[in-house]
Structure 1
Amino acid sequence: MKVALIGAGPIGIEAAAALKRNEISYIHFEANDIAHTIRKFPDDMIFYSAPEELQIPAHPLHTAHPRVCTRDEYLFYLNGIILKYDLTIQTGERVISINQQKNFFAVQTQKLEKKFTYFVDKIIIATGGMSTPRLIQIPGESLPHVSHFLTSPATYSNKRLTIVGGGNSAVEAAILCYHAGADITLSYRRDKLNDERIKPWLLKEFYSLEWTGKITALFNTTPIKIDQHSIRFRDTTDDKSFSIPTDYVLLMTGYTADMTLCREVGVFLSPENEEPAFNPETMETNVPGIYLAGTVTGGTQSDFKVFINTSHENVERIISSLLASRCNA
């Protein structure tokens, strides 16, 4: 039995280590670089989950501060897992199609200008749930001073930064960039932040900064146009529009999962958010031989319910199913 593993985020790496431990032959593809989504996060970003929730079972994640893990610490940890198990990951090689044959799958990939075909018995898709930003489709969204990712808060030091969004990422970005010296305006389409969705410590600091006038909050507003030095909003309470000056814009409006491979191979996807159908006991989809692991199981999530720390059991269930399949072969 040979397995194709697609995606080298935390759960993809965990799956690779488990496959190797159990002597299951596999080939591992990653379209970008290892832990690509996490590498986009700010250097000093802190995960909401505690280290013991992020760690691979039986592989402790040691951090400088108890119950706190930074982006860099987690990347160092994942690299340690790769080195420990001598994992081979074919980075920069994107899976472009999966063709189901009678008793196997033909997996076609592309690396630079070259295309390759591999034949495997099983496939594990672990491509994550944050493949691409959720675009808001307004003029100016593609301008060079507009971004959907916060990479380095220092970029915005002594600059006017407008952040659009009202989730954890938007609120955290506002706080981090304020401390980096940016002049912050946050726009959110509702009349207040959702107290149940925002992490309490973020909410407390954000409101403290807003109440003292250190951050400006524009509630009940939606952006309608971005120009080189300004952004235009519509006030949802009276439908009037207005502009404010800005040097940079961060559109923290969420992300979409890339479900292309699942869709093309015939995995059932919900019409609302493309949440895939799978057996929770085995993680096998309605297409026999194709498994899902990690946040891809949630499709495009609006209210996040599937995280790294809720996905460790996915790997255990897939391995159990593969071992049973090998025994029955």
Structure 2
Amino acid sequence: METTHIDIVIIGAGPIGIACALECKKRNLNYIVLEKGALTNSLFNYPLNMTFFSTSEKLEIDNIPFISNNPKPTRNEALEYYRRVTTSNALKINLYENVQKLNKTDYGFKVVSDLNTYIAKKVIISTGFYDIPNLLNVEGEHLPKVFHYYKEAHPFLLQDIAVVGASNSSVDAALEIYRKGGNVTMIIRGSAIGERVKYWVKPDIINRIEEGSIKAYFNSEIEEIKAKEIVIKTPDGQKTIANDYVIALTGYRPNLSFLENAGIALSKDGKSIPKYNSNTMESNVKGLYLAGVICGGRETHKWFIENSRIHAKIIAEHIAENLA
């Protein structure tokens, strides 16, 4: 395993990690981006036909134009945009290199991946939150019929599908599977479809539920998953319904243990918000910075691409001042 001495290690090659690399390059800072998966790995794992809530100009980084066919771009258009930004700027990114340890040392930081060891003066964590799903924690969740990510509807043709949740991802999956010939039942903990569901989609799902095309159990939860059935707790008592697949889109959370192991303090109010200086994005660990969605802890709806792009410039400016 090689040891590399470098000024800055950026962990995560999502849109904000890419933005951090651009800002470092502009300032002639010696950096490397380490990404455990594909470029913009979270976006890559989004549903194939996903459309963003944000318009394309709000997903732009470093004022590089993002041209899409419609005001709200698709997953594929976003992947193409971030690929071109990365390659045209010759950004230094190591894909499929997983950071395993991050330790503060007398000389900065020791970053250990599955491939290399880096001695860095500064580290930026921009790892998002999409890698760890919130589990249902019910019997049968381990069965191969249970999915916590949704890609496309085709495999669910003529099948009895339970979609758990009432967020954008749940609603999109329910509608697409229904329109591709699946028999969809939604299991929703709350009393209504989520408030954050895209305004142009919400009437569609409400109408499909009201007309009976999609069955919905509100104020309900799955209690058990069986090979060909699921058991649901509803306001009218326990019900058992036929089921071939469960798509549990109940949200995701950041790798908080990675932050804690690096010495970053988390709030104790259940939100696990990491401690950082909003003027510099430096955490309570000197020289260790946070960028993007990770700054919200468990509040994964607080930061998006469009409102956290500025983190990259703030961090790069502060690092440049301190390394001068």
TM-score (norm 2): 0.94
What residue is the counterpart of 2:138 in the other structure? 138
What residue is the counterpart of 2:44 in the other structure? 39
Alignment partners' CA distance in 2, 1:6 and 1:191: 39
Amino acid at match of 1:262: L
Indicate conservation of the 8 Å contact 1:129/1:301, yes or no.
no
Alignment partners' CA distance in 1, 2:11 and 2:100: 11
What residue is the counterpart of 1:296 in the other structure? 294
Deviation at 1:156, TM superposition (A): 1.3
Deviation at 1:6, TM superposition (A): 0.3
Deviation at 1:140, TM superposition (A): 1.3
Deviation at 1:248, TM superposition (A): 1.1
Amino acid at match of 2:145: H
Indicate conservation of the 8 Å contact 1:157/1:180, yes or no.
yes
The reply on whether 1:273 has 2:275 as its aligned counterpart is no
Indicate conservation of the 8 Å contact 1:42/1:153, yes or no.
no
Indicate conservation of the 8 Å contact 1:2/1:122, yes or no.
yes
The reply on whether 1:76 has 2:72 as its aligned counterpart is no
The reply on whether 1:107 has 2:73 as its aligned counterpart is no
Amino acid at match of 1:265: A
Deviation at 1:56, TM superposition (A): 0.8
The reply on whether 1:30 has 2:28 as its aligned counterpart is no
Deviation at 1:193, TM superposition (A): 2.2
Worse-matched range after superposition: 96-105 or 4-13: 96-105
The reply on whether 1:284 has 2:282 as its aligned counterpart is yes
Alignment partners' CA distance in 1, 2:140 and 2:77: 36
What residue is the counterpart of 2:3 in the other structure? none
The reply on whether 1:259 has 2:264 as its aligned counterpart is no
Deviations 1:280-320 (A, max 9, x none): 11100011100011100011226x12111111110110011
Alignment partners' CA distance in 2, 1:34 and 1:278: 26
The reply on whether 1:148 has 2:148 as its aligned counterpart is yes
Alignment partners' CA distance in 2, 1:128 and 1:306: 10
Alignment partners' CA distance in 2, 1:164 and 1:139: 15
Paired residue secondary structure (1:41): coil
Alignment partners' CA distance in 2, 1:106 and 1:191: 48
What residue is the counterpart of 1:117 in the other structure? 117
Indicate conservation of the 8 Å contact 2:22/2:62, yes or no.
no
What residue is the counterpart of 2:26 in the other structure? 21
Paired residue secondary structure (1:193): coil
Alignment partners' CA distance in 1, 2:139 and 2:213: 29
Deviation at 1:197, TM superposition (A): 2.5
Indicate conservation of the 8 Å contact 2:187/2:217, yes or no.
yes
Indicate conservation of the 8 Å contact 1:19/1:319, yes or no.
yes
Alignment partners' CA distance in 2, 1:217 and 1:40: 26
Deviation at 1:88, TM superposition (A): 2.6
The correspondence for 2:12, drawn from 4, 7, 10, is: 7
Paired residue secondary structure (1:106): strand
The reply on whether 1:87 has 2:86 as its aligned counterpart is no
Alignment partners' CA distance in 2, 1:62 and 1:180: 30
Deviations 1:222-248 (A, max 9, x none): 00111111111111x35x311110111
Question: Where do 5+ consecutive residues of structure 2 fail to align?
Answer: 1-5
The correspondence for 2:244, drawn from 232, 244, 247, is: 247
Indicate conservation of the 8 Å contact 1:284/1:318, yes or no.
yes
Query: How big is the alpha-carbon RMSD for the aligned residues of Structure 1 and Structure 2?
Result: 1.4
Indicate conservation of the 8 Å contact 1:17/1:81, yes or no.
no
What residue is the counterpart of 1:157 in the other structure? 157
Paired residue secondary structure (1:3): strand
Amino acid at match of 2:28: E
TM-score (norm 1): 0.93
Paired residue secondary structure (1:56): coil
Paired residue secondary structure (1:200): coil
Indicate conservation of the 8 Å contact 1:129/1:298, yes or no.
no
Deviation at 1:131, TM superposition (A): 2.1
Deviations 1:140-181 (A, max 9, x none): 112111101111122212222110112221112111222222
Matched residue count: 318
Indicate conservation of the 8 Å contact 1:257/1:300, yes or no.
yes
Q: Map 1:226-237; keep pairs closer than 5 Å.
A: 226-235=225-234, 237=235
The reply on whether 1:307 has 2:312 as its aligned counterpart is no
Alignment partners' CA distance in 2, 1:198 and 1:208: 14
What residue is the counterpart of 2:65 in the other structure? 60
Question: Where do 5+ consecutive residues of structure 1 fail to align?
Answer: none
Paired residue secondary structure (2:201): helix
